[in-house]
Amino acid sequence: KNQVEQSPQSLIILEGKNCTLQCNYTVSPFSNLRWYKQDTGRGPVSLTIMTFSENTKSNGRYTATLDADTKQSSLHITASQLSDSASYICVVSAGDAGGTSYGKLTFGQGTILTVHP
Amino acid sequence: NAGVTQTPKFRVLKTGQSMTLLCAQDMNHEYMYWYRQDPGMGLRLIHYSVGEGTTAKGEVPDGYNVSRLKKQNFLLGLESAAPSQTSVYFCASSYSPVAKNIQYFGAGTRLSVL
């Protein structure tokens, strides 16, 4: 069964500090891994997408890493801001068999990040 | 620049009532999806569509029906609402198969079934 596990479930940090969120997955065959940010009361917004051959991808203060061998990914947030308070969701896409398949996504349960002033 | 718009934003139903959730996208995307999000769980796919006039079942389709009569609209129907369908519902769209492309999400519909 495809699974995506995220840790920690929640995290509180002070503004300006860095933090790292973890994602472990058992999805096969692997296609890509993405991180979403979901603000309270809003829909998820894509931060990064990484394929098998990419091991690092940045989007501003967000840097995602991927280790396809150990099936782990991390999202590092640098110099946190109050606006970074949100749920961060790791999503893994299984390989698409082609045709009209939509490509199955498996969502993690999310890490809730709270940034305090 | 609307993107994906969901209506309504909130709804309270009594058990057994029916309702339709509307999703509209203005990005000319072929693929559209309905998810539900429950506390402590990842988003789960209810139904999806790979183009106008097509629909397919996702992980948790029971109790829901969908229609895609127009490319820009994807409707989710609850024929006889149950308390287990209390959830936040998200619609999403993508230009091509989601395995390769970004999904764009709406703001969600909060549904309570009493």
Q: What is the DSSP string of A26-76?
A: E-SSEEEEEEEEE-TTS--EEEEEEETT--EEEETTEEEEEETTTTEEEEE
| Band (A99; pLDDT cuts 50, 70, 90) | very low
Q: Would the pLDDT of B16 be above 50?
A: yes
Residue A62's pLDDT is what?
Answer: 97
Closest chain B residue by Cα to residue A91: B42
- Provide the token pair at A18: 């860095």
What does the pLDDT look like over B72-104, one tens digit per residue?
A: 999 999 999 999 999 999 999 998 876 567 889
Count of H helices and E strands in chain A?
A: 0, 11
The answer to whether the Cβ–Cβ distance between B50 and A102 falls below 8 Å is: yes
Residue A1's pLDDT is what?
Answer: 79
Residue A100's pLDDT is what?
Answer: 44
Closest chain B residue by Cα to residue A107: B42
- Provide the token pair at B95: 């230009």
The answer to whether the Cβ–Cβ distance between A45 and B56 falls below 8 Å is: no
Q: Going by C-beta distance under 8 Å and a sequence separation of 6 or more, which residues neighbour residue A60? A: none
What does the pLDDT look like over B53-78, one tens digit per residue?
A: 999 999 999 999 999 999 999 999 99
Q: Going by C-beta distance under 8 Å and a sequence separation of 6 or more, which residues neighbour residue B57? A: B47
Residues of B in Cβ contact (< 8 Å) with A49: 102
Size of interface A-B (CB pairs under 8 A): 66
When pLDDT is averaged across residues A48-67 and rounded to a whole number, the result is: 93
Residue A103's pLDDT is what?
Answer: 63
d(CA A55, CA B107): 31
The answer to whether the Cβ–Cβ distance between A42 and B107 falls below 8 Å is: yes
When pLDDT is averaged across residues A52-67 and rounded to a whole number, the result is: 93
What is the nearest CA distance from A81 to chain B, expressed in angstroms? Answer: 23
The answer to whether the beta carbons of residues A57 and A3 sit under 8 Å apart is no
What is the nearest CA distance from A96 to chain B, expressed in angstroms? Answer: 7
